[in-house]
Amino acid sequence: MKAKKKKNKSSLLIGITAFVLLVSALATVAYISYIKIISAFPIKRTIFTGNKHLTIDELRALAGIHGKESLIALSGKSVSQRLLKSPWIRSASVSKVFPDILSIVISEVVPFALLDVNGHIFLTDDKGNLLEELKDNTIPFLPIITGDPFKEKEGFSEALTLAKTMIDMGFSSERDQIEIVLSKPQELTSVIDGTVVKIGVGEYREKLERLLELQEEIQRRKIPVDYIDLRFANRVIVKPIKEVIH
């Protein structure tokens, strides 16, 4: 009886050992097969389209592509998510073209305005997100918003709306310089080609249309202007510069 139990125990151990060895062998074969499959489709070309500001090297770094990835193993979703971390990229579409091409189509954010914070100039998008700080003296012509957007959040939102209205009307393209000074919304002011214009909050298109009509009259009559106040409905205040008599 004892011999029989001993034999059964020995058979069980042999069976478990055989099962473990079989599972290990199958796992090894599966792993080797997986390695062979993914190594059969290495990425040889990565094609980026849609980029205007970001360089190919910058895009490769953002996407985390270093030239040793497999087209099969690579996650297109992960690549897209990494790219979208850049404030310059609005959208990214990743597709695989077998056997060896990764194609990435991106849509970049268009610079909307310049933000001047204590002498530091930043490019921003139309939502007020900072794109990058400008380090050189080359400054593109865009409306300049001056002030601290973190202290004047409501004023910054209104300044962006005013800038968008100016751009949509073609107003900004006809001026040499436009500066929007951050303040409380009701005190929003713009300096347009050296002329101070108190705009206030809301009805920006109507106010700018009144300003255009008024500027023609001011230029015709050659009136030196201290400031123009558009904050009141259906009313415009023009304060001429007082001549200093010597």
Residue 30 has pLDDT above 80, yes or no: no
- Beta-ladder partners of 227: 196, 239
pLDDT of 19 reads 65
What is the rounded CA–CA span in Å between residue 197 and residue 189? 6
Does residue 33 surpass a pLDDT of 60? no
Whether the bond into 99 is cis, omega within 30 of 0: yes
CA distance 41 to 197: 63
The predicted model gives 154-166 an average pLDDT of: 93
Note whether residue 189 is domain-resident.
yes
Least confident segment among 15-29, 89-103, 165-179: 15-29
Q: Which residue has the higher pLDDT, 205 or 236?
A: 205
The encoded tokens of residue 33 equal: 């097969």
Which DSSP string do the residues of 130-192 spell out, in sequence order?
Answer: EEEE--SS---S--EEES-TTT-HHHHHHHHHHHHHHHHTTTGGG-S-EEEE---GGG-EEEE
Predicted pLDDT at 18:
65
pLDDT in tens, 87-139: 999 999 999 888 888 999 999 998 899 999 988 999 999 999 999 898 876 66
Looking at the predicted structure, is the pLDDT value of residue 34 above 80?
Answer: no
Which of the listed residues 86, 108, 130 is the one where a domain comes to its end?
A: 108
In terms of domains, do 183 and 134 share one?
A: yes
For position 175, which CATH number holds?
3.40.50.11690
Closest of 121, 93, 118, 95 to residue 105, by C-alpha: 93
Structural domain total, the chain: 2
The mean per-residue pLDDT over the stretch 217-234 comes to 82
Mean pLDDT comparison of 137-141, 160-164, 212-216, highest-scoring range: 160-164
Average pLDDT over residues 165-188: 87
The reply to whether 130 and 216 lie within a common domain is yes
pTM above 0.75, yes or no: no
Which residues, other chains included, contact 20 with Cβ-Cβ below 8 Å and sequence gap of 6+?
Answer: none
Most confident listed range (62-71, 169-178, 194-203, 228-237): 194-203
pLDDT at 245: 39
Q: For the residues 62-68, what does the mean pLDDT come to?
A: 84
Q: What is the pLDDT of residue 188?
A: 93
- Is 119 found in the same domain as 92? no
- The domain that contains 79 carries what CATH number? 3.10.20.310
> Would residue 30 count as lying in a domain?
no
Residue 184, pLDDT above cutoff 80:
yes
Question: Last residue of some domain: 93, 108, 123?
Answer: 108
For the chain, how big is the Rg over CA atoms in Å?
Answer: 33
Same-domain status, 223 and 132: yes
What secondary structure does DSSP assign to the chain, as a single string? -HHHHHHHHHHHHHHHHHHHHHHHHHHHHHHHHHHHHHHTSB--EEEEES-SSS-HHHHHHHHT--S--BTTT--HHHHHHHHTTSTTEEEEEEEEETTTEEEEEEEEPPP-EEEEETTEEEEE-TT--EEEE--SS---S--EEES-TTT-HHHHHHHHHHHHHHHHTTTGGG-S-EEEE---GGG-EEEETTEEEE--SS-HHHHHHHHHHHHHHHHHHT--EEEEE--STT--EEEEPPPPP-
Residues 131 and 96 occupy one common structural domain = no
Does 135 fall in a domain?
yes
Which residue would you say has higher pLDDT here, 143 or 36?
143
Q: Are residues 140 and 219 in the same domain?
A: yes
Percentage, residues of the chain above pLDDT 90: 38
Residue range(s) defining the domain that contains residue 235: 113-240
The span from the CA of 81 to the CA of 75, in Å, is 10
When comparing pLDDT for 33 and 187, which is higher? 187
